[in-house]
A and B are shown apart, each in its own frame.
Chain A
Amino acid sequence: MRRVAITGLGVISAIGTGTPAFFDALLSARSGIRAVDIPFPTGTESVLAGAIDFDPDPHFPRARLLTMDRVSQFALVAGREAMAQAGLGDPASLQRSFAADRFGVSLGTGSGGASSTDVAYTALLEQKVARLRPMTVVLAMNNAIAAHVSMEFGLKGPSSTISNACASSAASIGEAFRQIRHGYADAMLAGGSEALLNRGTIKAWQAMHTLAKPHADGPETSCRPFSADRSGLVLAEGAAMLVLEDWESAKRRGANILAELCGYASTTDAHHLTQPDAQGQARAMTLALADAGLQASDIGYLNAHGTATDVGDVVETSAIKLAFQDLAATLPISSSKGVHGHAMGAAGAMEFIASVMALRAGQLPPTAFLHNPDPRCDLDYVPLTPRSAKGLRAVMSNSFAFGGSNAVLIAKAA
């Protein structure tokens, strides 16, 4: 089996565009969550969100924007950064390094072009138009992100779009890893994108009763993973992308190898639509370790799923104890969702990038706003301030989804 190198990273998020800005905000626990006014038909409501101030005009010609939902725009912004970092940003470098049909795309999204769907339903039901825009289908379809990314770079290898809710992009990275490992592709652009801050999607999430309430310390502090006063998750948008490639070809072309993607596992709880299951989550962590050929003691940092829901954080704590046994008590763990919110289909990729950057920097991003830990979440959740962790060998990133889909990724130092 071939080894897989990570050679490019790209992020657009509520805490910054570009991986340096993203990681800097993570380390300083600088929140990008805010209260956004959303004009619902019943009146304007203030909604907590990890929203991005994004002007697409400098990034794309207007003609192209007619065919791109916001979710595809985010995917391309993050994809361009990742490809540039890998030294593949211009067509000549790309063609010199890889055959087009050996470079694939594996992306994840929960809601795809949900904004375009919302616009279409608004036109149909509220404005009572007789017909919809011709591009409605291709704006909204979930694999539009893969289509736009592949066209941008001319990538003609394997293509897939995974929609496993909050585990979508962790699974898409894992499946891309397998494509290279088993020889179906030499390189993959993998990650996820989400742009769900539209009226219909927000109302649907409000009805789930899992969203955070505004905290007295300010709206930006409202997502509090593992804290006794946590009240739920905060919806967020963004995209995160990685360039993955065959280790030997990365070496041959002199690429800067950022880390090795060495382990992935996917499990299903088959238990409940929304209630997480510690056994299923623990099994994913254990299988990912076996896949990587590592021991639990090799993992020096775990980026938790940590959504800040009451049940989710407690069950994940139990799952980590099951998977890591006695080592769980001393394993540094944090959730970065307190600052960037829950980017759903992009969350797994965003947080795997956070893990890879922690591995490289020897700096662990803290869990923000964790002044008062929940006694039921009694692990080392690296509260409030970053921690130095020199000599990190390997890091793990957890992603667990509604529907019982679990995905765990492991990277080790190059």
Chain B
Amino acid sequence: MNSDLIKLFAETFGISEEKLLPDATLESLGLDSLAVIEFLFQIEDQFGIQIPDQANPPRTLAEMVQLIEPLLPPGKPAV
């Protein structure tokens, strides 16, 4: 997974990086749907990107990274 994104995720939610395994569900990490929206919003602002509305919002960490990573500007470090 994109290590910069994982680092940002860990800092935002105060969760140690070792716990952030790809298959970890966001719910098991203590994130409800509102917290996920806040995080995606933060990412959008930080990188000047637009994440399209999702019919099925990401359920796991890997799904969230898959959603964000292709939209990140090339060559720009995430944090």
Contact = CB atoms under 8 A, between A and B. Distances in A.
Interface of A: 57, 61-64, 66-67, 133-135, 138
A133 B45 CA distance: 10
Contacts of A62: 12-15
A67 B13 contact: no
B41 interface: yes
A134 B38 contact: yes
Given A57-B14, A135-B34, A138-B34, A63 B29 contact: yes
A134 B37 CA distance: 7
Given A133-B41, A134-B41, A66 B14 contact: no
Identify the 10 closest CB pairs spanning chains A and B, nearest first: A62-B14, A63-B35, A66-B38, A62-B13, A63-B13, A63-B30, A134-B37, A63-B31, A61-B30, A67-B34
> Residue among A63, A64, A66, A138 with the most chain B CB within 10 A?
A63
Interface in B29-79: 29-32, 34-35, 37-39, 41
A134 to B, nearest CB: 5
Interface of B: 12-15, 29-32, 34-35, 37-39, 41
Given A63-B35, A135-B34, 12 more contacts: A61-B13, A62-B12, A62-B13, A63-B29, A63-B31, A66-B12, A67-B32, A67-B38, A133-B38, A134-B37, A134-B38, A134-B41
Contacts of B39: 66
Nearest to B36: A63
Contacts of A134: 34, 37-38, 41
Contact of A66 (B15, B29, B35): B35
Contacts of B14: 57, 61-63
A256 B56 CA distance: 49
A62 B41 CA distance: 16
20 contacts: A57-B14, A61-B13, A61-B14, A61-B30, A62-B12, A62-B15, A63-B13, A63-B29, A63-B32, A64-B35, A66-B12, A66-B35, A66-B39, A67-B32, A67-B35, A67-B38, A133-B38, A134-B37, A135-B34, A138-B34
A135 B38 contact: yes
Contacts of B31: 63
B51 to A, nearest CB: 12
A72 to B, nearest CB: 13
A67 B13 CA distance: 12
A134 B41 CA distance: 7
A133 B34 CA distance: 11
A279 to B, nearest CB: 48
Nearest to B41: A134
A198 to B, nearest CB: 20
B30 A66 contact: no
Contacts of A64: 30, 35
Contacts of A61: 13-14, 30
